[in-house]
Amino acid sequence: MTATLSLINNSLQWCHPYLVATATEGENYGKALAVSLSLVSLSIYIFSRFFEEIAARLALPSVLGNLVAGVVIGVSGLHLVVLDGGEINPSLSHLIEILSNSTPEQVQAVFDGPVPLIIDEYAEFGVGVLLFLIGLESDLTELLKVGFQSASVAIVGVILPFVLGFMGLTYIFHVPTLPALFAGAALTATSIGITAKVMQDIGVLKSKEGQIILGAAILDDILGIVILAVVISIVDTGEVDVIKAAKLILIAATFMISAVVMNRFFASWFVTQLEKLKSPNRGMSYFILFILLSFIAGIIGLEPILGAFAAGLILGGTEARERLINGIGVLSVVFSTVFFVSIGAKTDLSVLNPSVPANQEGLIIAGFLIVVAIVGKVTAGFFAFSDEKINNLGIGTGMIPRGEVGLVFAGLGAATGALPPSIDVAIVLMVIGTTFLAPPLLRLVFDTSQSPETLVKSDPDGSV
């Protein structure tokens, strides 16, 4: 027994320096992570505020300033925010090493793993909060009134770009069927986050055009999910799974109809129960519905942001609406900034280099896809038939940006191996082009077609 204890004691003494070293390394890694997140967050907010100010002075939407800020500090610029792998800025790395007493390897490991993951989670939460706020600000009665117009815009805005893109790539550029399908699918969905934010900035979200765009963008997102599921099933099985596509449509329809029903019969009771709470921070309890519906949407195969929007719609007609809008507004600004900056940070402008052979073909195809992307959505805007005069060009322009939605299509297509480099480059460039063109175009078409009096009439309090 004594010999055994002596052996254990000697072993512990031998292991002690190793255990201490391991603990120290773990502590330094943790410090490196904390410092990295702090400096990355600081970079995001300093640069976003700077370029937002420039955008404001040029009478451009703030979202454009955020996108430019992302490009400047992202993979195409200073490498302060690197979310898709790659080397970080050497000066930033050295500063983190000094502040956290860590090694270059530990800093790189932090940026290869947890930092991009956490920033992406912040960004996803940001677009969720933004859509929750948009749902709160939306008039469900008005949304239902323009339901037919939104549906016609969405359907044409999905079918037309998809058909034009697929046929053009197949017969003009002789692209194989599967890559052409993925590229056509990437042309369908609208980035509801970008569109909603721009409309919020220019004060047309509550106008009839704004409600049509919002409804159509939501339907676009649902139809885009269905198309993506169908295309991926073709890649995986070689055949179209009609039953799966029909189930997705049925699930999405049921989910949104349930939100309307809950607005009518559940929301007031829910608010009454929460108002009985004595906590001064009881307002945060409303986030229960936000989290729950986002989670349910993800579980049943829909985008979590649709759940966030549905939660906003449910609470939008209650007495808590104005208080929630005021309370959520600051939270939305903070986290939605991360979302928009992260899109710009992931934008790799090296795909514009024509000296790379894969880029040459990609640039030509990208030009075609950008034209189809714009023409398809703008044309769809003229299918919002109405007895009264509406801004059809504005509606179509609001459907242009693809944003993160298009990048998801490109990413999944590349992951399945279905996209050759030239098509992957072309889709990314199409996303970049439509994302950056849409904000100034929206400002232009609404400013030139709607007088200030019209905007005030559509939004009596002068703000969103």
Nearby residues of 359 by Cβ (< 8 Å), 6 or more positions away: 351, 352, 353, 422, 425
CA nearest to 285, candidates 270, 272, 296, 274: 274
Instruction: Please answer whether residues 206 and 212 qualify as being in contact, where contact means their C-beta atoms are separated by less than 8 angstroms.
Output: no
DSSP state of 346: T
Q: What percent helix, strand, coil does the chain show, rounded to 5?
A: 80, 0, 20
Quickly count: other Cβ atoms within 10 Å of residue 145's Cβ: 15
What Rg value do the Cα atoms of the chain yield, rounded? 25
Q: Are 311 and 295 in contact (CB under 8 A)?
A: no
Rounded to whole angstroms, how far apart are CA atoms 67 and 48? 8
- Nearest to 364, CA basis, from 437, 411, 430, 419: 430
| Cα separation, 254 vs 71, whole angstroms | 39
* pLDDT value of position 12: 42
Is the Cβ–Cβ distance between 185 and 228 less than 8 Å? yes
- By residue count, the chain amounts to 464
CB 290 within 8 A of CB 315: no
Question: What single-letter amino acid sits at 325?
Answer: I
Whether the Cβ atoms of residue 316 and residue 141 lie closer than 8 Å to each other: no
Q: List per-residue pLDDT tens for the chain, 464 residues long.
A: 555 445 445 544 444 443 334 545 567 778 888 899 999 999 999 999 999 899 888 766 677 788 889 889 998 889 998 887 678 889 998 998 888 888 888 888 888 888 888 998 888 888 888 878 877 877 677 677 777 888 899 899 999 999 999 999 999 998 888 888 888 888 887 877 777 777 877 778 778 888 888 888 877 777 776 777 677 667 666 666 677 777 777 887 788 888 888 888 888 888 888 877 777 766 677 778 888 888 888 888 777 877 888 888 888 878 778 788 877 777 878 888 888 888 788 877 777 778 877 677 788 898 999 999 999 999 999 998 877 888 889 899 988 887 666 666 666 666 566 777 778 778 878 887 887 788 888 888 886 444 443 443 444 443 33
Rounded-to-integer distance, Cα 298 and Cα 361, Å? 37
Name the residue among 183, 217, 202, 99 with its Cα closest to residue 424. 183
Q: For the chain, which domains are there?
A: 14-112 (no CATH), 119-458 (1.20.1530.20)
Alpha-helical segments (H) within 74-171: 90-100, 104-112, 114-137, 140-145, 147-171
Question: Do residues 96 and 107 touch, judged by C-beta distance below 8 A?
Answer: yes
Amino acid symbol at 376? G
First-last CA distance in the chain: 78
Q: Which residue has the tokens 């201490």?
A: 20
- Find out whether 112 and 35 touch, Cβ atoms under 8 Å: no
- Give the C-alpha separation, 421 to 70, whole Å: 24
Task: Write out the two tokens for 277.
Answer: 């709470």
User: Do the beta carbons of residue 448 and residue 202 sit within 8 Å?
Assistant: no
For 238-352, where are the alpha helices, taking DSSP H only? 242-265, 267-275, 287-299, 304-315, 321-345
Separation between Cα atoms, residue 254 and residue 157, nearest integer Å? 22
CB-based contact 70:341 (threshold 8 Å): yes
Burial of 11 (0-12, 13-18, 19+ CB in 10 A): exposed
Rounded to 5 degrees, φ, ψ at 451 are: -75, 160
Residue closest to 203 by CA, chosen among 452, 395, 396: 452
